[in-house]
Amino acid sequence: MLSDTSLPVIQATLPVVGEHIEEIAKRFYKHMFEAQPDLLDGLFNRGNQADGRQQQALAGSIAAFAGMLVENPDQVPDHLLSRVAHKHVSLGLSPDQYQIVHDHLMWAIVDVLGDAVTPEVAAAWDEVYWLMANLLINKERGLYNAVHLSPETIWRTWKVVRRIQETDDVVSFVVERTDERAVKPSLPGQYVTIKMTMPDGVQQPRQYSLTKADDGQHRQFAVKRVHGLETPDGEMSTLLHNDVRVGDDVVLSAPFGDVVLEYTDRPLVMASAGIGITPMAGMLSHLVQSGSQRQVMLLHADDSEASFPLRAQVTEDLAKLADGTLKTWFLAPAEAGGESGSAFTGFMDVSDVELPDDAEYYLCGPLPFLKSVRSALIAGGVPAKDIQYEVFGPDLWLADFQ
């Protein structure tokens, strides 16, 4: 918790810092990368920088954390910290890099707010930063220790043994281990970071959900092509789609991610849209592998039946479960005789289906989809604690849940 000295200072300055936090985050990143461009080589994804998502995520996290210190000083925001810590560990972040972030962030606060940042104000926000940083460092140390790895050893080389063209713009890659070192088993819903060298020689990371349960030798993930190649946002998916073939080597991190399927006897409802099907496919694969007897309902929204990624895999896995059903919503009317389950036209409306009582919910898809579905579930009486969600890229929605 904040010290008695800093608490009133943060209470007084939080509104003005919150008002300018996005500009602070924008200048922070610009200043840091100008001073240390090497951070964009293997650690930070420049696509997230180019479209502003990373800046927005940082701004939301800092503002949310400071607000919680003021409003709930005796509580630790585990949800916020866990989401960030898993992402950091999947990138191989080390504790010493927090000092770099601190120095440039404090510079940006002074640069934006000017003379308003008195020594007392600077000291209070310095305390906020190190409270958050030290909590994250401890969580990340625990994650590294749990898998007996370090920031340097989370990476290993895998060989591509199969490419599956799932849809026009989605390809699955099956990779095989290339040595006999122990492989950390993945949990249902987790992701790996792939690190590739771009045409300009810079290494870039990107996270992809694992879409099948491990078999000890292989891992599988699906990549949707991101269009708009004039920006860095689509460079990873373009490289994977165009250049990575069977026989090529790829570098992957150990699996991480805090949105993990809990093994209970309660009914399970998964709601996804587009490429958000990928963690759901991984969860279904784990359920089949474990011989689960749970009632499982998959709700999926997409542009059309043809654009539904991993459709054959998830349909097959649902058929293997004791009680698995699929409901779909397509913007284009479903084809007659389609195999994607009960189909509705338009955007997903959970009131179209009868949801099981006392279910656990997992959501993944674009932010508007997540907000719409979660709001509908809450309005329908589903407790917030029973709804988990996964966001691809920086989590711009995180602060809304605190």
The predicted structure's pLDDT at residue 393 = 57
In the block, tokens 């879409």 appear at 211
Give pTM, 2 decimals.
0.91
The answer to whether residues 129 and 21 touch, using CB atoms and an 8 Å cutoff, is no
CA proximity to 396, closest of 143, 35, 83: 83
Fold of 268-401: Rossmann fold (3.40.50)
Fold of 6-146: Globin-like (1.10.490)
- Residue 98 bears catalytic tag: yes
All residues at 6 or more sequence positions from 273 whose CB lies less than 8 Å from its CB, including other chains: 300, 301, 302, 348, 364, 365, 366, 369
- Mean pLDDT, contiguous 10-residue spans, the chain (402 residues): 91 91 90 92 80 71 85 79 92 94 94 95 95 95 93 95 97 95 90 94 94 93 80 83 97 95 95 97 97 97 95 97 96 63 88 96 94 95 94 54 39
Distance CA 9, CA 109 (A): 15
Distance CA 9, CA 304 (A): 53
Q: Can you spell out the DSSP letters for 80-123?
A: HHHHHHHHHHHTT--TTHHHHHHHHHHHHHHHHHGGG--HHHHH
Tokens of 232: 């860095």
Q: Which of 29, 98, 129, 361 is catalytic?
A: 98
Buried b (16+ CB within 10 A) or exposed e, 218-250: bbbbbbbbbeeeeebbbbbbbbbbeebeeeeeb
The predicted structure's pLDDT at residue 72 = 83
The predicted structure's pLDDT at residue 399 = 35
The answer to whether residues 64 and 398 touch, using CB atoms and an 8 Å cutoff, is yes
All residues at 6 or more sequence positions from 247 whose CB lies less than 8 Å from its CB, including other chains: 159, 160
3-class DSSP state for residue 149? coil
Q: Which of 29, 127, 129, 140 is catalytic?
A: 140
3-class DSSP state for residue 286? helix
Fold of 155-253: Elongation Factor Tu (Ef-tu); domain 3 (2.40.30)
The domain locations on the chain are 6-146, 155-253, 268-401
Distance CA 12, CA 19 (A): 13
Q: Is beta strand 155-167 parallel, antiparallel or unpaired with respect to 170-177? A: antiparallel
- Residue 180 bears catalytic tag: no
The predicted structure's pLDDT at residue 402 = 37
Segments of 259-339 assigned E as strands: 268-273, 295-302, 323-330
How far, in Å, are 103, 151, 198, 206 from residue 40 at the CA level?
Answer: 17, 16, 12, 12
The answer to whether residues 287 and 321 touch, using CB atoms and an 8 Å cutoff, is yes
Q: Can you spell out the DSSP letters for 359-401?
A: -EEEEES-HHHHHHHHHHHHHTT--GGGEEEE-SSS-TTGGGG
